[in-house]
Amino acid sequence: MVTPARGEIWICQLVKEYGKTRPCVVIQSPEIESGSVLMVPLTDGNLQPWRVAIPPNADNGLLEAGRDREPVAMELR
């Protein structure tokens, strides 16, 4: 599990591909490695955070997330 260090900022951007309802998030962090799992403040319309898994074939940190993922909370202190 990869978690942000104290004071570290993860840049997350919610994007949509070709009008699909499934959201994606672009994450920029030096801690990210292919195949790892991390907790990110990815939210749906209800501001629900989700745990996102990075697939081994992830390209440029583009991840897919859906409602089948377990909701998690993340705190940056």
What pLDDT is recorded for position 73? 35
Position 14 scores a pLDDT of: 40
Q: What does the block give as tokens for 8?
A: 């570290």
Higher-confidence residue: 42 or 76?
42
Q: Is the pLDDT of residue 33 over 50?
A: yes
pLDDT value at position 58?
45
pLDDT for position 31: 55
Q: 62-64 and 24-28: which strand pairing?
A: antiparallel
The average pLDDT across 8-27 equals 43
**Are the CB atoms for 15 and 27 separated by under 8 Å?**
no
